[in-house]
Amino acid sequence: MQTIQTEKAPAAIGPYSQGIVSNGLLFTAGQIPLVPATGTVIDGGITEQTRQVLANLDGILAAAGTSWNKAVKTTVFLTDLNDFAAVNEIYGKHLNGAKPARSTVQVAGLPKGVKIEIELVAEI
């Protein structure tokens, strides 16, 4: 196993890694909309939060030497499924044609009161 650590994603706020590579796959920790440089939640609503989460995942993918084109599966956690359409639009544009399998679920709460968290699995 290889631990992935990058300054282009927020430092872990607990006893976990940003990502782990095992058997040719990258498994990321769930990313919330923290600004990597400050560790604070980005200002704004679901649009800004979604963009920050995707940027954080970009950093982990790059550090592992892979990309969205090799993403196999994402799981999106939302505190309000009414945000699904906005998230889906940003997500689709950001992935630029990549279409990993995806699950989206509504949850009662997320760390630091954020609206979205995304984790992914990708081939290396």
DSSP state of 114: -
Mean predicted lDDT score pLDDT of the chain: 97
The predicted pLDDT at position 61 comes to: 98
Residue 84's pLDDT band (cuts 50, 70, 90): very high
Domain ranges in the chain are 2-123
Within 8 A by CB and 6+ apart from 93, the residues are: none
Residue 63 neighbours by CB distance under 10 Å: 18
| Cross-strand pairs, 28 | 19
- CA separation for the pair 5, 25 (Å, rounded): 15
The first and second tokens of residue 121, run together, are 């699995």
Report the pLDDT averaged over residues 59-68: 98
Domain 2-123 has CATH 3.40.50.720: no
- Examine the pLDDT at 13 and tell me if it is beyond 90: no
